[in-house]
Amino acid sequence: MSRILRVNMTDLSTKFEEVPEKYRLLGGRGLTSNIVFDEVPPDCHPLGPNNKVIFAPGLVTGTSAPSSGRLSVGGKSPLTGGIKEANAGGIASQKIARLGIKAIIVEGQAQDGKFYSLKVNKDGASLVSADDIVGKGMYEADEIIWRKHPNKPGVIGIGPAGEMRLANAGVSVNDSENGPGRYAGRGGLGAVMGSKGLKAIIVDDKGGPGVSVANPELFKQEAKKLADALLTHAVTSQALPNYGTAVLINILNEAGGLPTRNFSSGRFEGAAKVSGEMINELATKVRKGAGRVAHPCHPGCVIKCSNVFPKPDGSYHVSCVEYESDWAFGPNCGIDDLDAIAELVRISNDVGLDTIEAGVTVGVAMEAGIIPFGDGQAAINLLSEVGKGTPLGRIIGNGATFTGRAFGVTRIPAVKGQAMPAYDPRPIKGIGVTYATSTMGADHTSGYTIAPEILGVGGKADPFAVNKGELSRAFQATTAFVDASGYCLFIAFAILDIASGFEGMVNSVNAMYGTDWTGDDVVKIGQQIIKTERTFNERAGFTKEHDRVPEFMRLEKLPPHNVVFDVSDEELDAVYAF
């Protein structure tokens, strides 16, 4: 029987509660967003005592279902001021689920100015001093925790950025090799965790009860359907394992939608030097050593889109250099040096920063003339200021919008205060609609219309067409369900094209809980999650005027296609006219 673990940082108490019936069929994002809606005042300060941070495995997480180990982290975002769900792989979510825990709710604030670690195992939960890891980066913190605790526990933690409550602080989750590179990065939830006085959650599932499945035989059958689809589809069985998500660098560059030098161009002349193909070449053929591709972010992942990028001498540098990080520190900053990009990713992983926001922030600083575009070492020096806690570092650590305001920059690629990911919305209109209307701020994972617009997955959509409201709305609803399920979002490539894969996703959940949901129910459940999130945001002060891309994207034509974002306000407003 699943339970909710409630952690009160004010009196340093922990207790287990029964799961309310209204939460029984919720998981992941569906559960975190509903708890935030029910328990967090929309007008509270994100770093104040009334905000909460919630950790929830998905509906099927902890089972043998393929690529189902995702963790949702929720709260009110200090970056956007609205509701937030950030999503990560790593090993912790499966361990939480196998301990019979449906969600961990962290509330209140430590009163003594100290940091604590939450230890969770089969015997219960307790808060202990985190003095041994306070002030340390996540690489060292993870190592210390594994030395002190048996059974290779899952570690959910924050680096110095979270301790300093910087708005771009993410939440780290370790992987099977105890690397900290799996981040619930977006929205600053690491700062919320830091504001509570919680440095780490240490999860040991040895001897735990595991998860129960209502119909094991049906579950096995349907999970296999999904696995077969993932192992058949060209994107999930070939492109992603061989070249990682950075396979998109050359694809988006060719499409003219790869944001370059702070979104001033859609093509980068150095794209081939930082592409997924180049990562594969260096990791598996030139440098070898620790380098590898087809690396899983959590046990049971069959897509294996991660990598281990080595230094020139073959020794370990970082895991992983994925598309968004590669782009953010690479083309977006005019940097064509993979070693510099890898070091910037490593700094982010250690200090505890979302790489998308960090890379866009460095690009904005370059726009301001703080350092020149293309200077990898200068970017490394600048980002290193965050961990030092210098005034400049704190500016950078608070994200792109804050940095742009500090230095008088008008080209700030952000929506609702959150930086845009690696797809310029001017030549790819659907993703722009998602950026504008998502409850999360600019977020490609909220509704990945890149699949049909660029990759031709799930049909082919003209990226220049402006009538993309319906497309984005459908993708956002389905995505909300996937985020609730615990499945990796990348299953979308296979389930969009292979009907049996979609059936496997839906029916594996049905087999788990004894439900009889259909494809139509998936959309309805996703829409209900989004309605809950939008209602929270409206109560927090958001209006339709917040569902807009930045002004410069309507004014400045983006080379090489020389187009602006010309989706009408009416089209944007109609996305959520339920």
Among the listed residues 26, 11, 15, 108, the one whose alpha carbon sits nearest the alpha carbon of residue 532: 26
Q: How far apart are CA 238 and CA 236, in angstroms?
A: 6
**What are the residues facing 128 on neighbouring strands?**
117
Q: How far apart are CA 229 and CA 65, in angstroms?
A: 13
Query: Of 376, 393, 423, which marks where a domain is finished?
Result: 423
Within this chain, do residues 318 and 413 fall inside the same structural domain, yes or no? yes
**What are the residues facing 497 on neighbouring strands?**
none
Q: Is the pTM of this model over 0.85?
A: yes
Reported as type and span, the H/E element at residue 182 is: strand 182-184
Within this chain, do residues 460 and 367 fall inside the same structural domain, yes or no? no
Within this chain, do residues 439 and 563 fall inside the same structural domain, yes or no? yes
Residue 405 lies in a domain: yes
Within this chain, do residues 219 and 195 fall inside the same structural domain, yes or no? no
Unique residue bearing structure tokens 């829409």? 527
Side-chain-facing half-sphere of 133: CA atoms under 13 Å = 34
Residue 254 lies in a domain: no
Q: How far apart are CA 173 and CA 47, in angstroms?
A: 21
Reported as type and span, the H/E element at residue 5 is: strand 3-8
Within this chain, do residues 366 and 479 fall inside the same structural domain, yes or no? no
Within this chain, do residues 482 and 505 fall inside the same structural domain, yes or no? yes
Q: How far apart are CA 328 and CA 235, in angstroms?
A: 22
Within this chain, do residues 405 and 433 fall inside the same structural domain, yes or no? no
Q: State phi, psi for 86 to the nearest 5 degrees.
A: -115, 145
**Side chain identity, residue 184:** A
Work out how many domains the chain is built from and give that number.
3
Predicted confidence at residue 577, as pLDDT, reads 83
Residue 323 lies in a domain: yes
Within this chain, do residues 432 and 375 fall inside the same structural domain, yes or no? no
Cβ atoms of 515 and 525 closer than 8 Å: no
Within this chain, do residues 43 and 101 fall inside the same structural domain, yes or no? yes
Query: Of 203, 235, 251, which marks where a domain is finished?
Result: 203
Q: How far apart are CA 199 and CA 394, in angstroms?
A: 19
Tell me the helices (H) and strands (E) count for the chain, helix number first. 24, 17
**Owning domain of residue 556:** 213-243+425-578
Q: How far apart are CA 92 and CA 298, in angstroms?
A: 9
Within this chain, do residues 310 and 274 fall inside the same structural domain, yes or no? yes
Predicted confidence at residue 578, as pLDDT, reads 66
Cβ atoms of 26 and 481 closer than 8 Å: no
Strand, coil or helix: what is 108?
A: coil
Q: How far apart are CA 451 and CA 235, in angstroms?
A: 10
Residue 539 lies in a domain: yes
Predicted confidence at residue 507, as pLDDT, reads 98
Task: Return the structure tokens found at 9.
Answer: 């940082």
Q: How far apart are CA 35 and CA 19, in angstroms?
A: 12
Q: How far apart are CA 375 and CA 10, in angstroms?
A: 45
Residue 348 lies in a domain: yes
Q: How far apart are CA 565 and CA 568, in angstroms?
A: 9
Among the listed residues 72, 2, 77, the one whose alpha carbon sits nearest the alpha carbon of residue 31: 72
Cβ atoms of 545 and 414 closer than 8 Å: no
Residue 21 lies in a domain: yes
Predicted confidence at residue 1, as pLDDT, reads 62
Beta carbons within 8 Å of 93's beta carbon, 6+ residues apart? 57, 58, 61, 62, 69, 70, 71, 154, 173, 298, 486
Q: How far apart are CA 389 and CA 173, in angstroms?
A: 23
Query: Of 362, 397, 423, which marks where a domain is finished?
Result: 423
CATH number, domain of 166, equals 3.60.9.10
Within this chain, do residues 490 and 379 fall inside the same structural domain, yes or no? no
Among the listed residues 163, 162, 56, 51, the one whose alpha carbon sits nearest the alpha carbon of residue 107: 51
Unique residue bearing structure tokens 């615990």? 486
Residue 208 lies in a domain: no
Reported as type and span, the H/E element at residue 55 is: strand 53-57
CATH number, domain of 502, equals 1.10.599.10
Within this chain, do residues 432 and 349 fall inside the same structural domain, yes or no? no
pLDDT along the chain (578 residues), means of 10: 94 98 98 98 98 98 98 98 98 98 98 96 98 98 97 98 98 96 97 98 98 97 98 97 98 98 98 98 96 94 97 97 98 98 98 98 98 98 98 98 98 98 98 98 97 97 98 98 98 97 98 97 98 98 98 98 98 91
Rg of the Cα trace of the chain? Answer: 22
Residue 250 lies in a domain: no
CATH number, domain of 330, equals 1.10.569.10
Q: How far apart are CA 308 and CA 239, in angstroms?
A: 16
